[in-house]
A and B are shown apart, each in its own frame.
Chain A
Amino acid sequence: MSVNLTLLTVMGALYACGIYLILERSLTRVLLGLMLLANATNLLILATGGYAGLAPIFDKDTPAVDYNDPLPQALILTSIVISFAVTAFMLGIIYRTWVLARQDEIQDDAEDRRVAETPSFDAEDDSVIPVETSEFPLAMVGSDGPVPTGTAAVMSGGRPVRADKAASEEQPGSLNVDPRKEGGGK
């Protein structure tokens, strides 16, 4: 139960500065903030080791409590090297952003903004579907017999289309052709 306030105070200062920096638009400063946070965390882990002690190089005459705690040290060593890798990766990102967009700023995500502006009306869900009373609209198109004349074609965009093709021309969201007006064997 030993609490080194010097280490913790320095840690607190590093956390405060790091947080201040990562709440910034400049990508470089965010990275610097992250590095400060990593340093602060290393100090926190170091503080868990208690009092300063001997370097943990085994000597059979030294009791274990005299060493500085080796476990936090191993954890910090891992943390240092990982932070290095992350920093290098972030540097790559910063450079790439600069090359692509010529800026070192974190932009607001336009895609997120767009989601908020999604209209309540969705054609797929909300558009009105006219009543369909046949799977074989407009004409008799079964292969069991010849297509009766006079009902087999509809005008679509100024050109005649075979009735059985007309249904498949419908695009998602577009209004279906109303079968009852055009044909249907009347």
Chain B
Amino acid sequence: MITVLAVHFAVAAVAPLLFRKFGRNSFFALAAVPAASFIWLLLQHDAVYSSGAITEVVPWIPGLQLDLAFRMDALAWVMSLLVLGVGALVLVYCARYFENKDDYLGGFGAQLLAFAGAMFGLVTADDLLLMFIFWELTTVLSYLLIGYARTRLSARRSALQALVVTTAGGLAMLVGLIILGSTAGTYRIQAIVELAPALIAGPAGGAVSAAVVLILVGAITKSALVPFHFWLPGAMAAPTPVSAYLHAAAMVKAGIYLVARLAPGFAETAPWLPIVLGLGLATMLVGGYRALRQTDIKLILAYGTVSQLGFMTMVVGLGTPEAALAGLAFLLAHGLFKATLFLVVGIIDHQAGTRDIRELSGVYGSARALAIVAAIGAASMAGVPPLAGYVAKESVFEAFIQYSSESGTGPWLLGGVVLGSVLTFAYSARFMWGAFAVKPGVEPTAFKPVKPAFLAAPAILSLLTVLYGLWPAPVDGWIQPYAELFVDGPESSPGHLTLWHGITPALGLTAVTFVLGLAMFYGRNAVARLQALVPGWIDSDRAYQYTIGALDDTAVWITGRTQRGSLFFYLSVILTVAFVLPLTALLLANKPLPEGLYFIDPGAPLQLVAGAGIVIGALAAVRANKRFLAVLMVSVTGYGIALMFALQGAPDLALTQMLVETIILVAFVLAMRSLPPGLRDRTGGKYRVIRVVIGLAFGVTMIFVAIYALGARVAPPVSLQFPQLAYEGGGGLNVVNVTLVDIRAWDTFGEISVLALAATGVASLIFVRGRGDRIRTSATVAEGTVGRRTGARGSTRDDAALAMNRRFAAATRDAWLVAGRTLAPERRSIIFEVVTRLIFHSIIVFSLYLLLAGHNLPGGGFAGGLTAGLALTIRYLAGGRFELREATPVGAGTLLGIGLATAAAAGMTPLLLGGEVFQSAIVELWLPVFGDIKFVTSTIFDIGVYIVVVGLALDVLRSLGAEIDEHFEEPAEPPEDEESGGAPAEAPVEAADAETTSKGRT
């Protein structure tokens, strides 16, 4: 079975290639796959029927109890006959139905073949979830196949409608399947059906009933039962072969199959019979009634299919042995005749260019063979002896007559079934008349001769219909094992399928059906007038449209109310929730304040002063109306917090915070030099009140949340162990640093990854392309060209300074900075260059000291890296971007990569040596000069951190510093070949003019 499936999908995968080479004749090759599988299936007959079933199981996902479990018993075998046999014939038929020049034919053929495979998988799967997978696969393939004519609105809309309806049902079904599977403790269908009586009677009987209802919803949508029947006529927008296969023989039978599969166990549950019989009968009558109103022969068949799907659901779901036998017999008969009739419709459409019964006339005269094939199909549909439909329908009548004697609702059901059969007879006759008869007043339809190859598939199917009718014994033999599953006593038996039962009530009902059906056909004008009187008030299709339309409108309405496009609005809502919820909880709980509150920490009384400074800084930042003033005030709070850290006993934090604050300040100035200095408050008025309220409420809430959270501590802190751990396990005295590089190294590794990402993000925002690692060396740059600016000359004092600078610049001997000469004289500062020259290397050495000493003293990779970054910042500020380039010959991207790689290697190497990830080792060795050295391997990780931080700082300097410099500089000479209309950033903008440009350059 798995092989059959695999071959289907494999050939489907290469099908488009075949079509490119051989055109539509490739359908023959595709048809060979289900045809060969069909032969294989016939060969399996003895194996299946002698042992009851053959199974194949391959483990797939043990955690979900999901195996590739396949099981072929009588039901699966009969269904497979239909799926593979009709599949092969439909594919053959396609080879003459479509045209060669269609580009999408390859995909279509692949989908159709894959569909056959999926359908085979669906009927043979023995696992609920596996079956569901195939179930949804058929849904998706059906969507693609219906939407084949992608340029037609009707095809697209019908495809989507079918998808939405069947997927909705499928989701309900999935829930039901999972309830059923977890209640039963297994997902194997066979086991569940055997367990069913115990499950229904057991404590979880209610859950089982709910599961059954949900599964039936899936079956009902898939098999197009009322009230979801409308998608099937809509799906007639599909090419007719697809309709013949999916919407008559195979896919819509999936629901029936599921009902048949579960009926042996679950027909006893309370909701089963009302749903199956009620909806089945309603569907049968609605479908038959509507079929009589159609003027498109394909739609007559479509509504006829709806009608008979209801019919089959009733029979199969009834749960008696006779009904089981009759149900499967009718399923096979229906597959044969309905596929025949659809294929005939396809031929008529293909040859005549229309399917409208008001335009077709005299087709019988042009295509006798076709008419005979169609007549056999239609007669079988109407239940005329000696055809398959007659044999099957007789047995159905028998089953319902039997049921009438057992149940009070039986006679009503029997009456309904007879009424439905009368309608079936009437629309069968209407179909034949509409498609082939000569109609007075209608021009004879021009009809091209039908080639034998085109007619072959429907002809074979109708031949089988006749054969089945004349000799039903083999079919009877195929179905008996399934029907016997329902036998529950010595006197109950499914009976047998035969052509002649003798004079029985069923025969009488058949006669009644024929008489009434003929009467309806001959009185068709009267029937049509009667139908015209009934307004179309109940139209599920329109209800669907309204539902979807209402859903769309609601979605738009809600989106419009909530997604207002205003960040202020979103944040206000989020933040309001963020303080209202905790505040309400606090007020409702009404807990007393915890103990241990204090304002003045005995160890750090200065905190009050630092705190006051921070608050003043924050308030000033809020009120500042100059950009740099605001930035400066925020920095004040930052430095204040560094002080707070120091007072609290956290020298590492204080050090790092100081360094970060400083670099951020520089970065701010670099990035914002082009922006206007003013900082207007643009969200004023009533919004300001809202902001003040939200801000204050949030702050107060946070204070109280923190008080209660801190007061809730009952256990001693876990970190009491840390100092000992750090010293003994991590080999370091600085507990914080050991925590970062050893105890919680994973955190830090995640963090430096974020740093690398953010650095890359900054670079890409500024450079847009690349990250500017290819900046030229200073040797190639002409003297005094960088940062040159003209325009407003300063006062005489400035002129004097400039002259001084020029003289200094001319002294090329013993330059203080390598690239200092590249700067324009007016940008240079002698003192700054000299100081930079004096302190740069010292700072770098200090940073290395911080890095290496950090394991035992305040410092570490972060502090060290930031210090080095600060050194680079000074170098850049003093000597310009080429100086930065000289200072760091390695690109920022390279640094980030090396840093991450070093850290990762530090984590992975212990693994290779048989340890744990990020395990550290302590190496004690003796070196000359240094003496005894205790080296901890986690230092290597810290070195990685150091390099990443340097890379980040470098990226910030190169992007926000050097690259923005270039945006602002005047080109060295007037650009001649520069296209106008480039990015505005490329144009020189004087920093002095920034204020005027802010008013809106275009």
Which A residues contact B (CB, under 8 angstroms)?
Answer: 1-26, 28-29, 32, 35-36, 39-40, 42-44, 46-60, 62, 64-65, 67-74, 76-78, 80-89, 91-96, 98-100, 102, 104-106, 108-113, 115-118, 120, 122, 124-127, 129, 131-145, 148, 151, 167-168, 170-174, 176, 179-180, 183-186
Interchain nearest-CB distance for A58 vs B (Å): 4
Is B296 at the interface (CB under 8 A from chain A)? Answer: yes
Q: Which residues of B contact A21 (CB under 8 A)?
A: 621-622
Contact of A20 (CB < 8 Å), options: B559, B602, B641, B692: B692
A67-B735, A89-B762 given as contacts; is B706 within 8 A of A11 (CB)?
yes
Contact, CB under 8 Å: A7 / B644: yes
Contact of A78 (CB < 8 Å), options: B149, B675, B751, B967: B751
Is B3 at the interface (CB under 8 A from chain A)? Answer: no
Among A52, A72, A87, find the residue whose CB has the most chain B CB atoms closer than 10 A: A52
Q: Which chain B residue shows the least CB distance to A150?
A: B446
A-B contact pairs, 27 of them (CB 8 A): A3-B594, A11-B702, A13-B615, A18-B618, A20-B695, A39-B614, A53-B649, A56-B723, A56-B736, A69-B719, A70-B726, A77-B652, A78-B740, A81-B862, A88-B956, A91-B672, A93-B765, A94-B671, A96-B765, A99-B967, A100-B984, A124-B156, A127-B153, A129-B153, A140-B446, A176-B153, A184-B353
Question: With A and B bound together, what is the CA distance between A13 and B622 in angstroms?
Answer: 11
Question: With A and B bound together, what is the CA distance between A109 and B552 in angstroms?
Answer: 21
Contact, CB under 8 Å: B698 / A15: yes
Give 1 or 0 for each of B632-666: 1 = CB within 8 Å of chain A CB.
00100110010011011111110011001001100
Interchain nearest-CB distance for B520 vs A (Å): 24
Contact, CB under 8 Å: A17 / B683: no
Contact, CB under 8 Å: A116 / B563: yes
Give 1 or 0 for each of B939-967: 1 = CB within 8 Å of chain A CB.
00000000001001001100110001001
Interchain nearest-CB distance for B423 vs A (Å): 23
Contact, CB under 8 Å: B960 / A92: yes
Is B21 at the interface (CB under 8 A from chain A)? Answer: no
Question: With A and B bound together, what is the CA distance between A65 and B723 in angstroms?
Answer: 10
Contact, CB under 8 Å: B349 / A105: no
Q: Which chain A residue shows the least CB distance to B603?
A: A52
Contact, CB under 8 Å: B702 / A15: yes
Q: Which chain B residue shows the least CB distance to A139?
A: B353
Contact, CB under 8 Å: A52 / B718: no
Is B856 at the interface (CB under 8 A from chain A)? Answer: yes
Contact, CB under 8 Å: B758 / A85: yes
Q: Which chain B residue shows the least CB distance to A46?
A: B648
Contact, CB under 8 Å: B553 / A120: yes
Is B194 at the interface (CB under 8 A from chain A)? Answer: no
Among B618, B672, B687, find the residue whose CB has the most chain A CB atoms closer than 10 A: B618
Q: Which residues of A contact B647 (CB under 8 A)?
A: 52
Segment of B7-15, B71-79, B448-456, B840-848 engaged in the interface with chain A: B448-456
Among A139, A141, A185, find the residue whose CB has the most chain B CB atoms closer than 10 A: A185
Q: Which chain B residue shows the least CB distance to A86?
A: B758
Question: With A and B bound together, what is the CA distance between A54 and B648 in angstroms?
Answer: 8
A1-B594, A11-B706 given as contacts; is B565 within 8 A of A87 (CB)?
no
List 5 additional A-B contacts (Cβ < 8 Å) besides A24-B683, A136-B350, A183-B353. Answer: A11-B706, A52-B607, A92-B762, A133-B359, A184-B359
Chain B: how many interface residues by the 8 Å CB criterion?
170
Q: Which chain B residue shows the least CB distance to A123?
A: B153
Contact, CB under 8 Å: B858 / A10: no
Q: Which chain A residue shows the least CB distance to B747?
A: A78
Question: With A and B bound together, what is the CA distance between A69 and B644 in angstroms?
Answer: 15
Q: Which chain B residue shows the least CB distance to A121?
A: B549
Question: With A and B bound together, what is the CA distance between A151 and B814 in angstroms?
Answer: 95
Question: With A and B bound together, what is the CA distance between A170 and B754 in angstroms?
Answer: 52
Among A56, A170, A176, find the residue whose CB has the most chain B CB atoms closer than 10 A: A56
**Nearest 3 CB-CB pairings of A with B:** A116-B560, A16-B699, A112-B565
Q: Which residues of A contact B657 (CB under 8 A)?
A: 80
Interchain nearest-CB distance for A154 vs B (Å): 12
Q: Which residues of A contact B762 (CB under 8 A)?
A: 88-89, 91-92
Is B556 at the interface (CB under 8 A from chain A)? Answer: yes
Q: Which residues of B contact A18 (CB under 8 A)?
A: 618, 695
Is B529 at the interface (CB under 8 A from chain A)? Answer: no
Is B681 at the interface (CB under 8 A from chain A)? Answer: yes
Segment of B277-285, B336-344, B709-717 engaged in the interface with chain A: B709-717
Give 1 or 0 for each of B534-569: 1 = CB within 8 Å of chain A CB.
000000000001001100110010011101111110
Q: Which residues of B contact A145 (CB under 8 A)?
A: 448-449
Question: With A and B bound together, what is the CA distance between A144 and B351 in angstroms?
Answer: 8
Contact, CB under 8 Å: A28 / B594: no
Contact, CB under 8 Å: A110 / B565: yes
Contact of B718 (CB < 8 Å), options: A71, A104, A110, A173: A71
Q: Which residues of A contact B983 (CB under 8 A)?
A: 99
Segment of B248-256, B457-465, B993-1001 engaged in the interface with chain A: B993-1001
Q: Which chain B residue shows the least CB distance to A84?
A: B660
Q: Which residues of B contact A100 (CB under 8 A)?
A: 984
Contact, CB under 8 Å: A80 / B656: yes
Contact, CB under 8 Å: B157 / A28: no
Contact, CB under 8 Å: B443 / A70: no
A5-B597, A124-B153 given as contacts; is B649 within 8 A of A68 (CB)?
yes
Is B355 at the interface (CB under 8 A from chain A)? Answer: yes
A9-B703, A13-B618, A115-B563 given as contacts; is B698 within 8 A of A144 (CB)?
no
Contact, CB under 8 Å: A6 / B675: no
Contact, CB under 8 Å: B598 / A92: no
Question: With A and B bound together, what is the CA distance between A151 and B354 in angstroms?
Answer: 13
Q: Which chain A residue shows the least CB distance to B608?
A: A6
Contact, CB under 8 Å: A102 / B755: no
A64-B723, A81-B751 given as contacts; is B857 within 8 A of A57 (CB)?
yes
Is B186 at the interface (CB under 8 A from chain A)? Answer: no
Is B151 at the interface (CB under 8 A from chain A)? Answer: yes
Contact, CB under 8 Å: B154 / A148: no
Q: Which residues of B contact A112 (CB under 8 A)?
A: 559, 563-565
Contact, CB under 8 Å: B648 / A6: no
A19-B698, A28-B630, A77-B653 given as contacts; is B984 within 8 A of A102 (CB)?
yes
Is B799 at the interface (CB under 8 A from chain A)? Answer: no
Q: Which residues of A contact B182 (CB under 8 A)?
A: none
Contact, CB under 8 Å: B672 / A94: yes
Q: Which residues of B contact A19 (CB under 8 A)?
A: 575, 691, 694-695, 698-699
Give 1 or 0 for each of B453-493: 1 = CB within 8 Å of chain A CB.
01000000000000000000000000000000000000000
Contact, CB under 8 Å: B354 / A184: yes
